[in-house]
Chain A
Amino acid sequence: MARTITYQQAINEALDQEMANDPSVILMGEDIVGGSGADGEMDAWGGPLGITKGLYTKYGDRVMDTPITESAFIGAAVGAAASGLRPVAELMFSDFMGVCFDQIYNQAAKFRYMFGGKAETPVVIRTMYGAGIRAAAQHSQSPYSIFTHVPGLKVIVPSNPYDAKGLLIQAIRDNDPVVCFEHKSLYQSEGGVPEESYTIPFGEANVVREGGDVTIIALGLMVNRSLEAAEALAADGIECEVIDPRTTSPLDDETILESVENTGRAVIVDEASPRCNMATDISALIAQQAFGALEAPIEMVTPPHTPVPFAGSLEDLYVPDATKIETAVRRVAGYSR
């Protein structure tokens, strides 16, 4: 039965239901038990964000607090996956991927290929991304395009509670390594989510809003901002189709191209740094495969090529907002040769 819960509760529910469903599912991460490893009350909080709250009480040692060393516990999770478990590792900030990149990029992503299909690595790495909370340059990045670049990894970027639960359950059941990017500012967002378990297949974009004038492609938090822009534009008679790819690897080329074939105009909104990000990738896809349909240059709305600023006034300028999206849409909508 569908009821309204938060993004954070949807993730907790996905973990809970899959742990109940499959005894090989385990959780690993820093302080995810929520007692800081002390003798006192365990599960008092449930991770730095409270996302795993209640799971230690239910599943005991299947929820493991790890030392503060990403290289060790992400490596352990990858190894556990290769030997039969289905670990879900929580990597607090995606910015910390640097220290465990080998384990993800050169080990987990390659096992199936290097061992001739005989090895599977069903590991899920859940991680927090995104700017907007004054967390400064080392805790605010959006590095999903880096992982999208790596063959052998699957990358999901859920933008709402319904997608978060369905994509995460699919990720846990998937036999390949999956990196799940959760935007900090989405955890408290609410939406309708069925109580029962369900899955959303990877590589299927969600058409969040239908419209015939301009196609906006956006991920994660940027989906909401694009919808905000689309509503404002609709008042002026510009109808935007908003597409949320939901997963960047695999990417649903078809839905994007189909929409651009119809509108002839595309704006891609991406919170990642502007070089070699999802916006440039999708832009290349459109330019190559829907060139004939284009009636205006493709617009990309991204932050500038700089680390995420700490100063609040600068950070607000850095992250794409509805106004910037609106401006870009007006530019392509008004373009004529």
Chain B
Amino acid sequence: MSDQDIHRLTMPKWGLTMTSGTVVKWLREEGDEVAQGDELVEVETEKIASAVEASSAGVLQRCIANEGDTVSVGGLLGVIAGAGIPSEQIDRVVEKFAVAFVPDETAISAAGPSTQRVVVGERSLRYLKLGDNESPISENPPALLLHGFGGDLNNWLFNIEPLSAGHSVYALDLPGHGESSRDVGDGSIGAFAAAVIGFMDAMDIHAAHLVGHSFGGAVATHIALAEPGRVTSISLIASAGLGPEINTGFIDGFVAAERRGALRDELGKLFADPALVTRRLVDDVLKFKRIDGVTEALRQTATGLVTDGLQAPGYRNRLHEIAAPIQVIWGQADGIIPVSHAAGLAGSVRTTIIPRAGHMPMMEAAGEVNSALADFMDRATG
């Protein structure tokens, strides 16, 4: 059997600034039979903890990295190979890798691509742009990523880079969020949609693949209805606007949380596995929430999202008006907007339900979400 049948399990690069990860725990043991997609080892970065999945089926022949080890991106974690492959052959592959492996210095030295700002009307908006695949623009429109309530462009940290392989990708801080201006107007979905359209104008984006998460999904849907010509495709992840229920306890609790403990509890509701919420993540959100004007902006935004305990935007029965292809992605264990909102949509809507993910599937199951997005955008562009 050739070395091709020996598969290396390496430290993934989750997000733009990740240079290394720490092995928290092996979830499977040496000698275990594994299927492609099985979670094998839990890894923690300064931003998030997650599991590394098997890239191929076989037997987990070696667990190279020890629990507690910090391994550079691309470094060897373990080896998966068929049951019949001799041990010496595996050792040779491991040895060869150890000699040849050089951590990607550019990845390690770079602090990641830097964000930019653009003034649209009275507002300054922060955005991140990656990839340069938009010319000619009409043939390959860029992707525009819209985060959810209380989020910012960093919510896409596991997605921006992979998606930029095929498209230019813009990730935007919506008004009142991240480092964009605090003014959210009347806080309505329409006001946010107008701001995004203003951003597209300023960036000379004629049309885009809109990718909206949660609140950002409602904004994307609103744009598709109001300005159909600007939308090439629309991907809605755990989107608002597709049903009445929403966890208002989370919205209220998130807005009210002033201390680490309270905020950690609220952020935990976003994930199927609340242990994914690292102290760093909590600290980053706290730093944002403590800026003057943020709480007021969030409160105003919440009025556009929730009325009398139910979702204010309701686009479910209007999706058929949208000519652009629509896909919906949802985590089975979503604790904020129930996964049932993904059911019973118009037949043309492509639906992907991700088991073991909560309200943030693009973080918790980044690989699956990235392939769903890339594949869908490619098809939409033809």
A-B contact pairs, 9 of them (CB 8 A): A1-B126, A1-B179, A194-B179, A194-B287, A196-B291, A196-B292, A197-B291, A198-B291, A210-B279
Does A85 belong to the interface (CB within 8 Å)?
no
Give me the 10 closest cross-chain CB pairs, A-B, nearest first: A197-B292, A198-B291, A198-B290, A196-B291, A1-B179, A199-B290, A207-B279, A196-B292, A194-B291, A198-B292
Which residues from A are CB-within-8-Å of B291? 194, 196-198
Contact of A204 among B117, B179, B260, B292 (CB under 8 A): B260
Complex Cα gap A1–B116 (Å) = 11
Contact indicator B258/A198 (Cβ below 8 Å) = no
Q: Which A residue's beta carbon lies closest to that of B180?
A: A1
Among B105-124, those with CB < 8 Å from A are 117
Contact indicator A196/B293 (Cβ below 8 Å) = yes
Contact of B117 among A1, A166, A199, A201 (CB under 8 A): A1
Which of A198, A201, A207 has most B Cβ within 10 Å?
A198
Q: Min CB distance, B340 to chain A, in Å?
A: 38
Does B318 belong to the interface (CB within 8 Å)?
no
Does A2 belong to the interface (CB within 8 Å)?
yes
* Given A198-B287, A201-B258, A204-B259: A2 touches B292 (CB 8 Å cut-off): no
Contact indicator A200/B126 (Cβ below 8 Å) = no
Among B322-352, those with CB < 8 Å from A are none
Complex Cα gap A200–B260 (Å) = 11
* Given A1-B179, A201-B258, A204-B260: A166 touches B290 (CB 8 Å cut-off): yes
Additional pairs, 4, CB under 8 Å, beyond known A1-B179, A197-B291:
A1-B126, A196-B292, A198-B291, A201-B258
Which residues from A are CB-within-8-Å of B293? 196
Residues of B in contact (CB 8 Å), total: 12
Contact of A200 among B117, B179, B290 (CB under 8 A): B290
Residues of A in contact (CB 8 Å), total: 14
Q: Min CB distance, B268 to chain A, in Å?
A: 17
Q: Which B residue's beta carbon lies closest to that of A170?
A: B290
Q: Min CB distance, B291 to chain A, in Å?
A: 4
Complex Cα gap A2–B154 (Å) = 14
Complex Cα gap A197–B287 (Å) = 11
Which residues from B are CB-within-8-Å of A199? 290, 292
Which residues from B are CB-within-8-Å of A207? 279
Contact with B along A187-199 (1 / 0, CB 8 A): 0000000101111
Q: Which A residue's beta carbon lies closest to that of B260?
A: A204
Q: Min CB distance, B313 to chain A, in Å?
A: 29
Complex Cα gap A197–B292 (Å) = 6
Contact with A along B276-301 (1 / 0, CB 8 A): 00010000000100111100000000
Among B266-282, those with CB < 8 Å from A are 279
Which residues from A are CB-within-8-Å of B260? 204
Contact with A along B145-185 (1 / 0, CB 8 A): 00000000000000000000000000000000001000000
Which residues from A are CB-within-8-Å of B126? 1
Complex Cα gap A1–B115 (Å) = 10
Contact with B along A249-287 (1 / 0, CB 8 A): 000000000000000000000000000000000000000
Complex Cα gap A233–B126 (Å) = 39
Complex Cα gap A198–B295 (Å) = 11
Complex Cα gap A201–B257 (Å) = 12
Q: Min CB distance, A98 to chain B, in Å?
A: 36
Q: Min CB distance, B48 to chain A, in Å?
A: 14
Q: Min CB distance, B366 to chain A, in Å?
A: 23
Complex Cα gap A198–B260 (Å) = 16
Contact indicator A201/B292 (Cβ below 8 Å) = no
Complex Cα gap A207–B258 (Å) = 16
Complex Cα gap A204–B289 (Å) = 15
Which residues from A are CB-within-8-Å of B292? 196-199
Which residues from B are CB-within-8-Å of A196? 291-293
Complex Cα gap A1–B292 (Å) = 13
Complex Cα gap A73–B2 (Å) = 84
Which residues from B are CB-within-8-Å of A198? 287, 290-292
Q: Which B residue's beta carbon lies closest to that of A239?
A: B68
Complex Cα gap A199–B292 (Å) = 8
Complex Cα gap A210–B49 (Å) = 14
Contact indicator B290/A2 (Cβ below 8 Å) = no
Q: Min CB distance, A144 to chain B, in Å?
A: 23
Complex Cα gap A196–B179 (Å) = 9
Q: Min CB distance, A151 to chain B, in Å?
A: 23
Complex Cα gap A150–B114 (Å) = 47
Q: Min CB distance, A74 to chain B, in Å?
A: 29
Among A1-24, those with CB < 8 Å from B are 1-2
Q: Min CB distance, A276 to chain B, in Å?
A: 29
